[in-house]
Amino acid sequence: MILGIEGVSCVGKTTLAAALATHLGEPAVIPCYYHASPDPSRLPKPEPFTAEHQLANIAQFLDVEDLRLARTLLALAEGWDVILDRTVDTLLAHAHAVGRMHGFDCDDQAQLAVTSRTVAMPDLTIVLTADPEALARRARLRKGMPTIFYDRHFSEHFNAYFDHPLAPAVVRLDTTTGSPEDLTERALDHIRRHQAGKHPLREAS
């Protein structure tokens, strides 16, 4: 099984991935694009102002996706489940959000760029959401965090993309209600239901 963990920065994706790994037989956890890149300093800036720049950025991230895909395929071949800390849907959600904020629309071109490549596609994606004010408080603790990543409008557009993602199955979990342990249990419930062939539960975002 390939599980994707999604959401804007500071929402708790890496923390949840680590927590789930302890309950799922220590699957391979594939890091996000930043940490999977051989040289994160060469990754593009997060806020392009034209469709052309956004599409060029996606091309760069897809090169990193090739590395993530190779690690995913190796883990699956060795019999391990996989957790993806971000998926290719994050590239499209980002393009959607930035485009809405800066007055351009490259959604169709971005999707074509992604779907024309072989990528690591999750069987189930868990999208984490949080109140924008809570995200802003968390982000302020991270030195150098670009402000766009906790901008209310960015979060709204990013999350709206997941109404129609590439991933075949998506559930949303609010990280601002309950304890981290409760969030892990809710995520595990969705995973078990998915593995049992049941439809994911719908939870308020």
pLDDT tens digits, one per residue of 106-127: 999 999 999 999 999 999 999 9
Q: Which two tokens stand for residue 75?
A: 């883990």
Confidence of residue 135 (pLDDT cuts 50, 70, 90): confident
Closest-CA residue to 117 (of 166, 75, 62): 62
Question: Which residue did the predictor score with more confidence, 47 or 186?
Answer: 186
* Rg (the chain; Cα; Å): 16
- List phi, psi (to 5°) of 185: -65, -40
Closest-CA residue to 81 (of 133, 134, 123): 123
Lowest mean pLDDT among 29-33, 153-157, 201-205: 201-205
Closest-CA residue to 71 (of 45, 15, 33): 33
Contact indicator for 96, 161 with CB cutoff of 8 Å: yes
3-state SS record for 48-103: CCCHHHHHHHHHHHHHHHHHHHHHHHHHHHCCCCEEEECCHHHHHHHHHHHHHHHC
Confidence of residue 26 (pLDDT cuts 50, 70, 90): confident
Closest-CA residue to 85 (of 152, 156, 45, 36): 36
CATH number of 2-195: 3.40.50.300
Its sign, for the CA torsion 132, 194, 161, 202, is negative
Closest-CA residue to 57 (of 85, 81, 37, 80): 37
pLDDT of 201 above 60: no
3-state helix, strand, coil in the chain (%, to 5): 50, 10, 35
Residue 37 amino acid letter: S
pLDDT in tens, 70-115: 999 999 999 999 999 999 999 999 999 999 999 999 999 999 999 9
What is the pLDDT of the chain when averaged over all its residues? Answer: 91
